[in-house]
Amino acid sequence: MDAHHTDAHNAHREVAPQDLIVGLSISGGGIQAVELDRSGPTTTLLAIDAWENTLTGGGADGKGEGLREFHMHFAKFVRENRVRASRMSIALDTGLLFLNSMPIDQGLTRSEINDHVKWELSQYFPDIDTADFITDVHILTEHANDPFNEALSVSVRRGDALAIQKAATGAGMSLDIVDADHFAADTALRINYPDTYRKYIALVGVKETRLDISLMRNGSLESYRYLIVQSNQEIIQGIAALARKTPGIYSMTVYGPYLDRDLLTQIRRGSPILVEALNPLRHVNVAEALRLADHLTVPSYRFAAAVGVALRRD
């Protein structure tokens, strides 16, 4: 290739638009933030940080001092890390959402499924108009010889969704995707651990008062449930019981902002099977500036939901 074509090729590469996005996980365990560059064949981590959650109840109330403090923290994150992304995806604590597993007739249309989900919501929240919820439905398992599929509905109050939109707009960002933190971590698991498509595993989100548990068989989400826990001992016992009572399970992958090295060690000691800590950066490059800084001292498994929601493209 001659010099002219080489220069033209380089110029073309320089003006190629960058696919930059901020991933934010909002939970009772704080706020975790990352900036990713998804432009190249391999995603690159450009910024990573965490701070206290000042948004009411582990979520965004969209008003008051808590929201102002959030904007201050986020502005500091943008300034100190020279964040250039203009889009943000947010992972919300499952504790803020209503998740309901239910059988769905295989012959139902999407409209009929939505009607069924609204009816289910009305049973749980008889005093609240179902129009006050925004709901997404995931088909978990499809049984060829069974007239019913297992489905999971994920509902967020419309007011909370609007508050998240307000928080993103106030931070100078357009809102891309809103997901549950556990399913954002599921995205990080699938992208970074392609061998999960050949195994039967559990993904466990460890929170101070809650364990989010999903079982995945050969890459398909088979079931989701959660446990309320009141101590580290109950976390250890709950995960150990999951391993013992799930026939054929190969391993468990754990993550979460509440998880630390000591608790992880105790979980591994109590489990009869392999327990892996989810590394959401396993197949993500880390920018040189970050390697030289002190930002990567916190275990990456605390950022699984923030990275996962930023990796999600649909």
Go through the domains of the chain in sequence order and give each one's CATH number. Answer: 3-95+159-195+279-311 (3.30.420.40)
Specify the pTM.
0.86
H/E run at residue 177: strand 174-180
Category of 82 on φ-ψ map: left (φ > 0), alpha (ψ -120 to 50) or beta: left
* C-alpha neighbours within 13 Å on the C-beta side of residue 252: 28
What gap in Å lies between CA 135 and CA 156, rounded to an integer? 7
Band of residue 63 on the pLDDT scale cut at 50, 70, 90: low
Could you read off the pLDDT of 170-191 as tens digits, one per residue?
A: 888 998 988 999 999 999 999 9
Band of residue 4 on the pLDDT scale cut at 50, 70, 90: very low
The whole-number pLDDT of residue 5 equals 47
The whole-number pLDDT of residue 314 equals 75
The whole-number pLDDT of residue 296 equals 63
* CA-only gyration radius of the chain, Å: 21
